[in-house]
A and B are shown apart, each in its own frame.
Chain A
Amino acid sequence: MSLFGMLGTASRALEAQRFGLDVVGNNLANVNTPGYNRRIADLGALPPSDRYSAGRGVEVLGVRSTRDRLYDQRLYDEAPLEQQQAALADSLGLAEVALGGAGTSIDSDLAKFFDAFAELAEAPTSTTARQQVVTEGDALARSFTSMATRLNDAARATDARVREDIANINVLTSRIASLNKSIAASPASQTLHLRDQQTETLKALSGLVGTQVLELADGTAQVMTRNGRPLVMGADSYALQAVSLPPSGYAAVQAGGVDITAEVSDGHLAGLLQVRDGALPGYVAQLDTLAHGLATTVNALHASGFDASGTAGGNFFTPPTGVAGAAAAMAIDPALRADPSRLAAAGVATPGDNAIARQLANTRDTALAGGKTPDQAWTSLVYAVGSDVSRAKTEQASRADIVNHIEQVRDSVSGVSIDEEAAMMMRFQRAYQANAQFFTVIDETLQTLLSLKR
């Protein structure tokens, strides 16, 4: 190769090393950018122009990002499972807090209620004991209603989060669609940063709702729900709607007018729906069964007795209209509240008798409808909530480990290592210095050649 040709080689080499440094700089600059995949400068040796040449030096082939689709796909698959359990643990945690601690919740109100009857049984004619039964009955009824309210509030709060999730899903799908549009419109080498964003957005979307992601040859992504409902097709996104449905007014998830609430099987949204439509109503139903059983049993016993004036007993609690809503509607009979002498403690029409008060006190050990005593029914509700939360937490922790592991492996492939970049930096710097030296040598050689003519 001619000396002038070698000058060209040297300058291409300087160019290539500078490019390498450029890539290193970019990697270092993005060391903390979420979703950034390490870039690699691709250099290639140029072939010799003729058989008397070693080669024409180096050329920049381009820049590519190091990415393993497998790990991305695994993340899209695992993120929904992890997020679902996270949503379950969070939202059920609210219900768990609502239940209150042992000794400060319905358990202690039940105990006080039955204790009051037992005290009444010892002194059936005492106005204080009568008043106490009425007060404790009132407190118990209020505990039930406020517990039902708290659980329903938790369901409403979860519904609000369902709507938030749907809004977030729509933001993410429209972002993916616009990324698709930009990716499709530019050459592949110009869209590396867009692809990074795309991966990151897809990951966030998968956390919210389980998806099927199909990456097309042009780098765009097609996203569908697990059941094949389109979310993103090319540059178009299909928004989900939150439609309030009677009677609860809770949001149903609709895609293009079709109710897909039941299809959402994983992801954060699915966890919320599970809590709102499954777990919380189940807890309320358990509470209702207890309230209904207690109110009807107490009422039946109370009605079979006689009050302080020898009149047959009336209602103790306002009779529940049905099992559903019994806890929320629980209240002590207003006439009884106004006049505790109407409390029927006696089994015969003599005011000093205590047969009914005793039986009412012993209701604490009586199996209500459903085969459980009041305490057992309450305990099993607490156990149900506690074990649901505990299961969700455990499941979430193990899912989080899996996600973490995948991210770690993914990082190992795609992440930026500062040491590695430092080594690369040194490599390109030294190469640059060497090539500059080579340039000087050629220059001096040319000088020598030119000076021959003098």
Chain B
Amino acid sequence: MYRVTHNTLYRNSLRDIQSTAEAFARAQQQVSSGKRLQRASDDPAAAATGLRERAEIRSVDRYRQANDSVDSRLRVTDTVLSDIVTSITSAQTKAASGRSTVLTAEQREAVALEVEGAKQGIFAAINTSYRGVYLFAGADNTAPPYTKTGATVSAYQGDANVVQVDISRTSTAAITVAGDSIMQGSAGADLFETLDALATAVRAGDMPAIDAGMIELERAFNRVTAAQSGVGTTLSALPGEKARLDDLRRASDSRRSQAEEISLAEAISEMTRAQQAQEAAIAVAGTNQKTSLLDYLR
């Protein structure tokens, strides 16, 4: 026969009260903090998952921000390229109207001035800086890509590199453009020199030179629109990239939440259960030896 002693009863009651109180306290903390894990040891594997997913979320967030910043820069670049296209088109139109033997010297001068005006516009556009970066200076983007002494525009001052930004683990986007690739490309003279020569030719009424200038303008036009469509392609890929990143983030966040957070309904019912267990343990301890043989001894 198993003898039940005074100590057995008290030790057991105390132990049960302690362990149910501990369970209740843990359940309560889970509900009040909303966290399933208070410490890594509560569930080491889940804690590791939580950390992994947090790191993933941080890097996805970072790429998401890079996407936004690339987006705004490329929009500026796109606008500037449009301006340049407009200027080139206007120069082409004017030069075409200047390719006529019936014009007076004054009229030719007016056309030449228009061509020079287009050059001014292109000069201003190509020197656009956005957030401290000259967009068309390649990697050497702390100074304007082209400078001007009097009416003469300098050669390209930037470099041939472009600044790339990572917009996901696997893809990058260029946020600067090497200006000479659109101003000159493989041509013998850059767009400014072409326009200067064209203005001179218009003034002089030199038809073959105007023709040559028109051909060069056409090539420049092609270069700029090609660059613009490149930018457009990158821009149009960004929303897809962002959506992918958002999906990744959602997936990571739900994994993190599963690992670290509680389901409130479950946690509350768990807490209620723990509370009942604790109350029962306390109630039982209260009835310990409430009746004793001593009560019946007179």
Residues of A within 8 A of B (CB): 31-32, 38, 93, 96-97, 99, 101-103, 107-108, 110-111, 114-115, 118-119, 121-126, 346, 348, 350-355, 358, 361-362, 364-365, 375-376, 378-380, 382-383, 385-390, 393, 404, 407-408, 411-413, 415-420, 422-423, 425-426
Whether B132 contacts A389 by the Cβ 8 Å rule is no
Indicate whether A354 sits within 8 Å of B163 (C-beta atoms), given known contacts A383-B48, A417-B3: yes
- Could you mark each residue 13-26 of chain B with 1 if its beta carbon is under 8 Å from any beta carbon of chain A, else 0? 00100000000000
Chain A residues near B29: list those with CB within 8 A.
none
Whether A386 contacts B4 by the Cβ 8 Å rule is no
A122 contacts which of B3, B6, B69, B294 (Cβ < 8 Å)?
B69
Which residue of chain B has its CB nearest to the CB of A124? B163
Whether A386 contacts B39 by the Cβ 8 Å rule is yes
**In chain B between 119 and 141, which residues have their CB closer than 8 angstroms to a CB of chain A?**
131-134, 137-141
Chain A residues near B2: list those with CB within 8 A.
412
Chain B residues near A119: list those with CB within 8 A.
65
Q: Is the interface of A mostly helix, strand, loop or mixed?
A: helix
Q: Which stretch (B53-61, B79-87, B279-287) binds chain A?
A: B53-61
CA distance A422 to B163 in the complex (A): 94
Q: Which stretch (B164-172, B188-196, B201-209, B270-278) binds chain A?
A: B164-172
Chain B residues near A355: list those with CB within 8 A.
164
CB of B109 within 8 Å of the partner chain: no
Whether B58 contacts A412 by the Cβ 8 Å rule is no
Whether B48 contacts A389 by the Cβ 8 Å rule is no
Closest chain-B Cβ to A34's Cβ sits at a distance in Å of 9
Which residue of chain B has its CB nearest to the CB of A362? B166
- Could you mark each residue 40-51 of chain B with 1 if its beta carbon is under 8 Å from any beta carbon of chain A, else 0? 111111011011
Chain A residues near B47: list those with CB within 8 A.
102, 382-383, 386
Enumerate the 10 nearest inter-chain pairs by beta-carbon distance, A residue then B residue, closest first: A386-B40, A415-B5, A352-B141, A386-B44, A389-B41, A353-B139, A375-B55, A111-B58, A387-B44, A422-B293
Whether B161 contacts A412 by the Cβ 8 Å rule is no
CA distance A375 to B60 in the complex (A): 14
Question: Could you show 28 A-B contacts with beta carbons less than 8 Å apart?
Answer: A97-B39, A102-B260, A107-B51, A107-B55, A110-B55, A111-B54, A114-B62, A115-B62, A122-B66, A125-B142, A126-B131, A348-B161, A350-B161, A351-B142, A352-B139, A352-B176, A362-B166, A379-B48, A383-B47, A385-B41, A386-B43, A387-B45, A389-B41, A393-B41, A411-B11, A412-B3, A412-B5, A419-B294
Chain A residues near B165: list those with CB within 8 A.
121-122, 354, 358
Whether A111 contacts B292 by the Cβ 8 Å rule is no
Which residue of chain B has its CB nearest to the CB of A31? B6
Chain B residues near A426: list those with CB within 8 A.
293, 297
CA distance A110 to B166 in the complex (A): 18
Whether B139 contacts A350 by the Cβ 8 Å rule is yes
Chain A residues near B52: list those with CB within 8 A.
375-376, 379
CB of B289 within 8 Å of the partner chain: yes
Whether B161 contacts A417 by the Cβ 8 Å rule is no
Whether A115 contacts B58 by the Cβ 8 Å rule is yes
Closest chain-A Cβ to B259's Cβ sits at a distance in Å of 9
Q: Number of B interface residues, CB 8 Å?
A: 56
CA distance A32 to B5 in the complex (A): 11
CA distance A213 to B189 in the complex (A): 101
Which residue of chain A has its CB nearest to the CB of B58? A111
CB of B7 within 8 Å of the partner chain: yes
Indicate whether A418 sits within 8 Å of B6 (C-beta atoms), given known contacts A352-B133, A389-B39: yes
Whether B4 contacts A412 by the Cβ 8 Å rule is yes
Closest chain-B Cβ to A257's Cβ sits at a distance in Å of 39
Whether A417 contacts B51 by the Cβ 8 Å rule is no
CA distance A407 to B52 in the complex (A): 45
CA distance A110 to B8 in the complex (A): 53
Whether A107 contacts B44 by the Cβ 8 Å rule is no
B62 contacts which of A110, A118, A387, A418 (Cβ < 8 Å)?
A118
Most buried by B among A31, A354, A423: A354
CB of B159 within 8 Å of the partner chain: yes
Which residue of chain A has its CB nearest to the CB of B172? A358
Indicate whether A353 sits within 8 Å of B294 (C-beta atoms), given known contacts A411-B7, A418-B6: no
CA distance A423 to B51 in the complex (A): 63
Which residue of chain B has its CB nearest to the CB of A393? B41
CB of B100 within 8 Å of the partner chain: no
CB of B12 within 8 Å of the partner chain: yes
Whether B289 contacts A418 by the Cβ 8 Å rule is yes
Closest chain-A Cβ to B10's Cβ sits at a distance in Å of 9
Closest chain-B Cβ to A290's Cβ sits at a distance in Å of 13
Whether B166 contacts A121 by the Cβ 8 Å rule is yes
Most buried by A among B2, B4, B37, B43: B4
Closest chain-B Cβ to A71's Cβ sits at a distance in Å of 13
CA distance A390 to B62 in the complex (A): 34
Closest chain-B Cβ to A313's Cβ sits at a distance in Å of 16
Chain B residues near A361: list those with CB within 8 A.
62, 166
Most buried by A among B40, B43, B139, B141: B40
A350 contacts which of B41, B48, B140 (Cβ < 8 Å)?
B140
CB of B175 within 8 Å of the partner chain: yes
Indicate whether A404 sits within 8 Å of B15 (C-beta atoms), given known contacts A118-B166, A352-B137: yes
Whether B44 contacts A390 by the Cβ 8 Å rule is yes
Closest chain-A Cβ to B293's Cβ sits at a distance in Å of 4
B292 contacts which of A97, A378, A411, A422 (Cβ < 8 Å)?
A422
Chain A residues near B297: list those with CB within 8 A.
422, 425-426
Closest chain-A Cβ to B261's Cβ sits at a distance in Å of 11
Closest chain-B Cβ to A446's Cβ sits at a distance in Å of 33
Which residue of chain A has its CB nearest to the CB of B4? A417
Most buried by B among A352, A376, A415: A352
CA distance A11 to B114 in the complex (A): 144
Chain B residues near A390: list those with CB within 8 A.
41-44
Chain A residues near B55: list those with CB within 8 A.
107, 110-111, 364, 375, 379
Chain B residues near A121: list those with CB within 8 A.
165-166
CA distance A364 to B4 in the complex (A): 63
Which residue of chain A has its CB nearest to the CB of B159? A350
Chain A residues near B45: list those with CB within 8 A.
383, 387
Which residue of chain B has its CB nearest to the CB of A388? B41
Indicate whether A408 sits within 8 Å of B6 (C-beta atoms), given known contacts A350-B161, A390-B41: no
Chain B residues near A353: list those with CB within 8 A.
139-140, 161, 163
A352 contacts which of B5, B51, B163 (Cβ < 8 Å)?
B163
Given contacts A413-B3, A416-B6, 6 further A-B contacts (CB under 8 A): A108-B58, A124-B163, A352-B133, A382-B44, A389-B40, A390-B43
Which residue of chain B has its CB nearest to the CB of A390? B41
Most buried by B among A97, A122, A348, A380: A122
Whether A102 contacts B39 by the Cβ 8 Å rule is no
